[in-house]
Amino acid sequence: MLQQSWTLLGSRYVAEYRVLRVREDRYRFEPSGVEADFVVCDSADWALVVPLTPDDQVVFVRQFRHGVRAVVLEIPGGLIDAGETPEAAAVRELREETGYTAERVHLAGGLIPNPALNNATCHVVLAEGCRPGGNTAFDPLERIDIELRPLQAVPEMIRRGELRHAQAVACFALLEARGLIALDRRAPPA
Amino acid sequence: MLQQSWTLLGSRYVAEYRVLRVREDRYRFEPSGVEADFVVCDSADWALVVPLTPDDQVVFVRQFRHGVRAVVLEIPGGLIDAGETPEAAAVRELREETGYTAERVHLAGGLIPNPALNNATCHVVLAEGCRPGGNTAFDPLERIDIELRPLQAVPEMIRRGELRHAQAVACFALLEARGLIALDRRAPPA
């Protein structure tokens, strides 16, 4: 079996940042006996939330992302605090980042964003009946713009490359596969 | 504008691994004047390929992933070599990992897997007319199993949590949004 091909020999943290620790895991690959180190970005799980207003608008956010050094269109979300449920983290991040509050939230499932490199699971939450009125609470180093777009525009946003955030794209796909949202799949106008 | 909120002050590499370098970027956040370091996993772009056989089976792969310490179901892919196109990388990785060769490949677009932390773009390639017969070429530390599944089973695989790899899920969503594949969206049996 694939799982038994690898024996974990040891593990050590080599760097620590606000949001993650860099870990080196040493393995022996049993088929050849070769030993090697693998780098892992070790973080808490996070939650991403697809927030829908009563008239089926999605509350997107835009923020500068330091990995790609550019402003990125995505959906609200963030690391889950110790002892917090994914749903509670989604509600909290939604309010902190956008000021919106939700009538109902539903945990749709978990995705693994980068299993080769990252240990984390991304928990996908649908928030319905979202309305403005809460108080945003940006981190000291956060600045976020809100952008409402119709849910039915999402396939076209993906098609045009306007929505390129892989985890956000996968969240919509998971909600659709779970039957929690329905996306119009007619071909776009030529 | 959000982009102008951040001034890059400096950048240094703090660790180097086979597949990535860990970088610290120092920024000044202009609204407050606060300076802070952000960690970035700096790697080459990669390609992921959705390989379809002539009878619309998807060539999935299973391999042990050190980030999540588990065997993961995903689609073939890997880092793009210097000077290589995404399509060429997709064809090469498909052959190396599965032994399959493709009649036609089509670059569908790019996704950003983790823009907060990673600089890389994931290029999404559709490979059609895939057939076995090439020679696999595993890395010395690679062991990969192949699994053929009908394309029309993909929504159900996502729904059941069998396909949890966010980038793979997003690849199917992008191909569908681009009209390059059509997925049956009838509700699954109760």
Question: pLDDT at residue A188 above 70?
Answer: no
* pLDDT 10s digits, A22-63: 999 999 999 889 999 999 999 999 999 999 999 999 999 999
Residue A186 has pLDDT above 80, yes or no: no
Cβ separation of A172 and B173 shorter than 8 Å? yes
- Which residues of B, range 50-69, sit inside 8 Å of A by Cβ? 62-69
Q: Is the pLDDT of residue A189 over 60?
A: no
Q: Does B9 lie at the interface with A, CB-CB under 8 angstroms?
A: no
Q: Smallest CA–CA separation between B150 and chain A, in Å?
A: 16
Provide, as residue numbers in chain A, all residues whose Cβ is less than 8 Å from the Cβ of B31.
Answer: 143
Over residues B175-186, the mean pLDDT reads 91
Helix axes A166-177, B166-177, angle to 10 degrees: 80
Whether the per-residue pLDDT at B190 is higher than 70: the answer is no
Put simply, whether B89 touches A (Cβ < 8 Å) is no
pLDDT by residue (tens digit) across B76-111?
A: 999 999 999 999 999 999 999 999 999 999 999 999
Chain A residues in contact with B72 by the CB 8 A cut-off are 112, 115
Name which residue leads in pLDDT, A4 or A52: A52
Supply the DSSP symbol for B142.
-
Task: Please give the structure tokens belonging to residue A59.
Answer: 């509350």
Q: What is the pLDDT of residue A109?
A: 98
Residues in A closer than 8 angstroms to B176, CB to CB, are 155, 185
Residue of A nearest to B122 (CA): A166
Confidence class for position A178, pLDDT limits 50, 70, 90: very high
Look at B64 and A31 and tell me if their CB atoms are within 8 Å: no
CB-based burial, A153-171: b 16+ in 10 Å, e otherwise: bbbbbbbeeebbbbbbbbb
Compare CB distances from B113 to A110, A114, A177 and report the shortest one's residue. Answer: A114
Average pLDDT over residues A159-183: 97
**How far is residue B7's CA from residue B39's CA, in Å, rounded to a whole number?**
15
Res. B188 pLDDT band, cuts 50 70 90: low
Residue A190's pLDDT is: 44
pLDDT of residue A92 exceeding 50, the answer is: yes
What is the predicted pLDDT for the residue at B184?
83
Q: Give residue-wise pLDDT tens across range B118-159.
A: 999 999 999 999 999 878 888 778 889 999 999 999 999 999
| Neighboring chain B residues of A109 at a CB cutoff of 8 Å | 161, 164
Residues of A in contact with B62 (CB under 8 A): 2
Q: Residues A144, A63: contact at Cβ < 8 Å?
A: yes
Measured between CB atoms, does B84 come within 8 Å of chain A? no
Which residues of chain B lie closer than 8 angstroms to A14, CB-CB? 15
Query: Is the CB of B2 inside 8 Å of chain A's CB atoms?
Result: yes
Nearest to B141 among A34, A114, A119 (CB): A34
What are the pLDDT digits (tens) for B51-75? 999 999 999 999 999 999 999 999 9
Section A90-103 average pLDDT = 97
Whole-prediction pTM: 0.96
For residue range A109-167, what is the model confidence (pLDDT) as tens digits? 999 999 999 999 999 999 999 999 878 888 778 889 999 999 999 999 999 999 999 99
Contact A169/B at CB under 8 A: yes
Compute the nearest-CA separation of B131 from chain A (Å): 24
CA distance A39 to A14: 10
Residue B104 contacts A where some CB pair is shorter than 8 Å:
no
Tell whether B79 lies on the interface with A, counting CB pairs under 8 A. Answer: no
- Judging by beta carbons within 10 Å of its beta carbon (0-12, 13-18, 19+), is residue A189 exposed, middle or buried? exposed
Spatial contact of A58 and A73, defined as CB atoms under 8 Å apart: no
